[in-house]
Homo-oligomer: A and B are copies of this chain.
């Protein structure tokens, strides 16, 4: 018996994992970044095989991790979380520095960052687990709290994109739905506004209401069955 709600109790942070170089870099939002050993300091990141960044990490053998601030904007989620770098240059207009390995490090809306050199790669099915030795770590703003996945879900009403290890098909959750409640989906990021769990009907939301995940306008939502 698997109750998927139980898995919501697992804690994660939210990060931008990047790789590449000055000519072509890319990054995406990840919640699976973990330290695996202290001596030497060594980290694991888990990347979907579908993510554009994954192939770049394999090619460059290095990655950076930027720890997102709790107040991270919907714009940064729209840019790094729900769109692919295959379609546009995510690093254009992004405040960056370059690490010792040459990989880009996103500084926008981040409170610290670190850089790792890949030493092992494990195929875990739909995802690759990159194990990397820490070669660089710096604090950007020690006064601010990191964004956690729990805060993102509960306060920002964000959902995991399809490529995330923690993506849960909503049909697997036991949610009671009022007969008259409707659902509206953001066509940009996939966020679902579900009237059965919201206080306000979708049509009653103000015209300047935006998608809490990617910042798209209300007009970008389509009713789903």
Contacts and interface: CB of A to CB of B under 8 A. Distances in A.
Interface of A: 1-7, 9-13, 32-42, 44, 46, 67, 111-114, 120, 122, 124-127, 129, 131, 134-139, 142, 146, 148-150, 164-168
A165 B113 contact: no
A70 to B, nearest CB: 10
7 contacts: A3-B138, A4-B137, A6-B137, A6-B139, A36-B46, A37-B125, A42-B165
A104 B12 CA distance: 25
A124 B42 contact: yes
Given A42-B125, A124-B120, A125-B37, A112 B1 contact: no
Contacts of A137: 1-4, 6-7
A190 to B, nearest CB: 14
Contacts of A36: 32, 46, 124-125, 127, 129, 165
Given A34-B34, A35-B32, A13 B13 contact: no
A124 B131 contact: yes
A15 to B, nearest CB: 8
Contacts of A166: 35, 38
A38 B168 contact: yes
Contacts of A134: 2
Nearest to A40: B125
Given A11-B146, A36-B165, A37-B46, 18 more contacts: A2-B135, A4-B41, A6-B113, A6-B139, A7-B41, A9-B146, A11-B149, A35-B165, A36-B127, A37-B124, A37-B126, A38-B167, A40-B125, A42-B124, A44-B129, A124-B131, A129-B131, A146-B150
A102 B12 CA distance: 28
A2 to B, nearest CB: 5
